[in-house]
Copies of this chain bind each other. A is one copy, B any other.
């Protein structure tokens, strides 16, 4: 079977694994207070061109729920588009911290400044929650990305209304390394209050780096980190991996590689006149395939198919640092044979 199911099916990229092996016998301080976590944070700060509090967390759902628990007062809510991962793919993790998510329509998985304005104008009463954070993902759940200009406009409306801007970067490497992206980590650091850099989907065994930029959000975070079970005894395990990811550009390299594989795949699919559900610019490719095609494709290829509320089916092919040219060739070969 060829794997296009997701970008977290294997262990770690070999450079990551080598570092884990290298430091396996070293005595380290516990709870994320070790030298590897510090050095990893310092390497990331260089990319940000900003001072940040950086915490390493085992997964995206946990990172998002820690942010909600730590950043918001009990009556404050989060604005997010209907495709947002936190809305319907994290088992109500945000609501379990006591906070409401205000769902608004998105466009290609993205939020618009105007839709935030609309919400803020209709809120304000004490019988409603107080919107306080805007949640966006980059790359989005549909594989699309934000430009500097878009992020600047969103940031401006957030500042206008005193909203925190938070970016879920589970696939941030893929967003930044998209051919169509003009965003760098330093832009994100300049324009958001907090965001996270995904490692799990970019070559690590596990780990996301939560980057807190807004000074008022920094104090007390480690209490929440411990209280919600996210502080690992051997926190250095994540520090070591992020160190490896950022000490010589591996973060960017792996993101670019996955995108390149996706590009090769989408170019090939376009030649076969396959219909795209969303324009492919990162490592996720969404397709409208017939039931028969889905059935035949799934004989040799691992991938997921979602059923939308309106009954429509959308199939997703994901590439990663672990995808080989051979995988791409095989799947394109499949489609070519179908078209004969």
Contact B118 A96 (CB under 8 A): no
Instruction: Identify the interface centre among A8, A29, A201, A234: most chain B CB within 10 Å of its CB.
Output: A234
Q: Which residues of B contact A63 (CB under 8 A)?
A: 229
Q: When each residue 89-109 of chain A gets 1 if its CB lies under 8 Å from chain B and 0 otherwise, what string results?
A: 111110111111001000000
From A146-154, A180-188, A219-227, A258-266, give the one contacting chain B. Answer: A219-227
* Residues of chain B contacted by A232 (CB below 8 angstroms): 58-59, 200, 206
Q: A228 is contacted by which of B31, B96, B130, B223 (Cβ under 8 Å)?
A: B96
CB contact under 8 A between A95 and B88, given known A59-B229, A226-B126: no
Task: Mark interface residues in A1-33 (1 if CB within 8 Å of B CB, else 0).
Answer: 101001011111010010011011111111100
CB of A77 closer than 8 Å to a CB of B:
yes
Among B24, B29, B61, contact of A11 (Cβ-Cβ < 8 Å) = B24
Q: In this assembly, does A161 line the interface, its C-beta being within 8 Å of a C-beta of chain B? A: no
> In the docked arrangement, what's the CA distance between A204 and B191, Å?
40
A129 CA to B25 CA, complexed, in Å:
33
Given pairs A10-B24, A75-B223, A93-B229, 8 additional interface contacts (CB within 8 A): A9-B29, A10-B25, A21-B21, A27-B302, A58-B229, A66-B229, A75-B220, A91-B127
22 residue pairs A–B, Cβ–Cβ below 8 Å: A9-B27, A17-B21, A17-B24, A58-B58, A59-B231, A59-B232, A62-B229, A75-B96, A89-B128, A91-B128, A92-B227, A95-B99, A96-B98, A98-B98, A103-B103, A122-B307, A122-B309, A130-B223, A200-B232, A201-B233, A206-B232, A229-B230
